[in-house]
Amino acid sequence: MRQWEKMCYIQYSVSFVLESEKYGGRITLEFFAGEYDVAVIGAGHAGCEAALAAARMGCKTIIFSINLDSVANMPCNPSVGGTGKGHLVREIDALGGEMGKNTDKTFIQSRMLNTGKGPAVFSLRAQADRRAYQMEIKKTLEQQENLDVKQAEVTDILAEGKKIKGVKTHTGAVYNVKAVVVTTGTYLRGKILIGDISYEGGPDGLFPANKLSQSLKGLGISLMRFKTGTPARINGRTVDFSKMEEQPGDDMIVPFSFETEELKKAQVSCWLSYTNEETHKIIKDNIHRSALFGGFVEGVGPRYCPSIEDKVVRFADKERHQTFIEPMGLNTEEMYIQGMSTSLPEDIQLKFLRTIPGLEKVKIMRPAYAIEYDCIDPLQLQPSLEIKAINGLFFAGQVNGSSGYEEAAAQGIIAGINSTQYVKGKEYLILNRSEAYIGVLIDDLVTKGTKEPYRIMTSRSEYRLLLRQDNADLRLLEKGYAIGLVREERYQKFLSKKRSIEKEIERLENTIITPTEKANHILEREGTSPIKTGVKLSELIKRPQLNYKIIKEMEGNDSTLTRSEAEQVEIQLKYEGYIKKQRQQVEQLIKLENKKIPDEIDFESIKGISLEARQKLSQIKPVSVGQASRISGVSPSDISVLMVYLEQYNRGKNKEQ
């Protein structure tokens, strides 16, 4: 069949042409379906944040989902936050995003992790009601001004030269758009693996997106193949909880959103059990039937989140492994078995699960599976998450080689913001590593790349004490306000909070407490030495045994600060010396980040730089000396040569001008 060389679109009317593709032997028709500023492909956690950000910033936006019943789906554990991830959720909220607010509305258990360590690694985690979370986000999308929600599979991204022009769906609908955000998660050429059985599919039995990968390749974008997995879901009525350790939520609930002032609600428990020798024997005896160990898996899986068969093989000396039984929601008996991801056949899954205390009579509702999918090499991205090859084309979430709902949402809000900035011709929002874990996440992806699904961890940041979850609003809310995602009312409340913290710190630094009988009695009660002379309250609070609440008791003065304000006062004073040192390190970083590298620099022509460094610099095209210094294979001596070259280059430019 002849392919028509030109396609005519008559705006505001339905027009169509014949094209060369055939679906089931039938000729598909194209038609003009509308015009938008921003199109978001995929309605997972990245897509929802991207679409909401773009619409709230004033862009006419459309978001596509293969199935609208899967909006904000949680195909793995329905939990939000955790170590490092909780920091991301707080940062998303500070910028004006939705994930934290939605979790506060729909959580069924909340816990603060790592409280036995310092505040830099405190991480909030909440078990969400899976369906309530989905429905709440879907409703938020539907009610958002400037945003249309559409069920359709996008099969083609249309570009003219290096500029985005539109998208096309499987039904032939063509939408003219100025910018596109790709947030396809694990759907691109998705392949489900259970033992030696494999079939095309997305998560949770949904359809995969099989055609968009080819369109991306046609645009010159290189793809990788990654893998992730999920455990079986079981019927809670078949679990004997009396044989397990109960894991209740915290008595004092800390909200994710800085806008949520207080939370009081009944919580459900999670449960802890362990594998044993019998469990491990069944897995070892059937390891050849695992898709992972049987050679059926093409994609690379996450090293930090291994399957149970991987754990048993890699940690053969361990007699047992933890497994948490966690509810999927309030209106279902379905439960999630954390720590038991597997690609073993369904019969073997049931067999080894029934060796675990409390699961002797368990029934599986959904078997565990591994899923392979296409993603892009993130080294092709700018720090703005715009692809280098095409202007106006942005990527966010697992399609960038990351894993996790929180990592996806964090990239989503940045891609949504920057796609809007692109449409409006404004400067992109790029967060430095010293400003946010979001900055660490994106910088790691676009500068270092990844060979496995990337997960954020507190250890990835050089400035953990500055990037705490408790101060995310102090770090980022003004940026959210400046770009239009934070409302005026919220901003004024934030300024009031900031003033209260500063005022109280100043008061404590200028208030001296004398060695009264009451003061020394409290000090001795707390296990610290009494004072013999007057001491500043700001110095006293630095003692390990003391906190802000005890200091107020010594004063005999009821505090008027909120819980979060008091927390800030205590942390900023108690860790003042360490915070000061990290800020000095940040100043050095900023100097390198401010040394920008012009787009036209030809790294191959710079003499004195190693061959590997020239190749890496040419591939990644860093925007600053700071980014260049973090590229694997670029040594400090290479950076020294580069800085000398840039100095000479800039002098030459200035002379020309």
- Find the CATH number of the domain harbouring 640: 1.10.150.570
Domain of 525?
Answer: 501-582
488 burial via Cβ count (<10 Å: 0-12, 13-18, 19+): exposed
Locate 162 and state its tokens.
Answer: 């290096």
Single out the residue in 582, 607, 628 at which a domain terminates: 582
Q: SS3 string of 373-395? A: EEEECHHHECCCCEECCCECEEE
Q: Is the same domain home to 274 and 354?
A: yes
- What is the pLDDT of the chain when averaged over all its residues? 92
Q: Does 16 have pLDDT greater than 80?
A: no
* CATH number of the structural domain spanning residue 274: 2.40.30.260
* CATH number of the structural domain spanning residue 535: 1.10.10.1800
- So what's the pLDDT on residue 17? 42
Cα 451 to Cα 444: distance, rounded to the nearest angstrom: 12
Q: Is the same domain home to 604 and 571?
A: no
- So what's the pLDDT on residue 296? 66
Q: Is the same domain home to 621 and 555?
A: no
* Structural domain count, the chain: 3
Say which DSSP state 58 is in: T
CA 314 to chain CA mean position, Å: 28
Pick the closest to residue 44 from 171, 132, 138 (CA basis). 138
Poorest-confidence range of 22-31, 228-237, 295-304, 352-361?
Answer: 22-31
Locate 88 and state its tokens.
Answer: 């991301």
Cα 24 to Cα 10: distance, rounded to the nearest angstrom: 28
Single out the residue in 560, 582, 604 at which a domain terminates: 582
Single out the residue in 346, 372, 398 at which a domain terminates: 372
Confidence band for 304, pLDDT divided at 50, 70 and 90? low
Residue 255 within any structural domain of the chain: yes
Q: Is the same domain home to 526 and 639?
A: no
Cα 379 to Cα 376: distance, rounded to the nearest angstrom: 9
Residue 104 within any structural domain of the chain: no
Q: Does 558 have pLDDT greater than 80?
A: no
Residue 520 within any structural domain of the chain: yes
Q: What is the mean pLDDT of residues 569-583?
A: 95
Phi, psi dihedral angles at 75 (to 5 degrees): -70, -20
- So what's the pLDDT on residue 14? 41
Cα 223 to Cα 400: distance, rounded to the nearest angstrom: 10
Cα 630 to Cα 483: distance, rounded to the nearest angstrom: 28
CA 445 to chain CA mean position, Å: 12
Number of H helices, E strands in the chain: 20, 24
Q: Check: CB of residue 226 under 8 Å from CB of residue 299.
A: yes
Q: What is the mean pLDDT of residues 508-521?
A: 94
Residue 569 within any structural domain of the chain: yes
pLDDT in tens, 524-537: 999 999 999 999 99
Locate 2 and state its tokens.
Answer: 């002849």
Q: Does 244 have pLDDT greater than 50?
A: yes
Confidence band for 9, pLDDT divided at 50, 70 and 90? very low
Q: Is the same domain home to 242 and 366?
A: yes
Taking the complete model, does pTM exceed 0.85, yes or no?
yes
pLDDT above 90 coverage of the chain, percent: 85
Q: Is the same domain home to 341 and 246?
A: yes
Cα 64 to Cα 138: distance, rounded to the nearest angstrom: 12
Q: Is the same domain home to 564 and 632?
A: no
Residue 49 within any structural domain of the chain: no
Q: Does 262 have pLDDT greater than 50?
A: yes
pLDDT in tens, 466-478: 999 999 999 999 9
Say which DSSP state 4 is in: P
pLDDT in tens, 22-43: 444 455 689 999 999 999 999 9
pLDDT in tens, 44-97: 999 999 999 999 999 999 999 999 999 999 999 999 999 999 999 999 999 999
Q: Is the same domain home to 604 and 525?
A: no
Residue 367 within any structural domain of the chain: yes
pLDDT in tens, 368-390: 999 999 999 999 999 999 999 99
> What residue spans of 594-635 are helical by DSSP H?
611-620, 625-629
Q: Is the same domain home to 250 and 365?
A: yes
Which neighbouring-strand residues pair with 154? 169
- So what's the pLDDT on residue 20? 42
- So what's the pLDDT on residue 5? 35
Residue 254 within any structural domain of the chain: yes
Say which DSSP state 7 is in: -
Q: Is the same domain home to 516 and 616?
A: no
pLDDT in tens, 202-239: 998 899 999 999 999 999 999 999 999 899 999 999 99
Give the Å distances, CA to CA, from 175 to 64, 131, 169, 383, 549: 11, 31, 9, 27, 58
Confidence band for 655, pLDDT divided at 50, 70 and 90? confident
Highest mean pLDDT among 1-15, 41-55, 622-636: 41-55
- So what's the pLDDT on residue 6? 36
Q: Is the same domain home to 291 and 368?
A: yes
Q: Is the same domain home to 270 and 305?
A: yes
Beta strands in 104-160 (DSSP E): 107-113, 123-128, 147-151, 154-160
Residue 183 within any structural domain of the chain: no
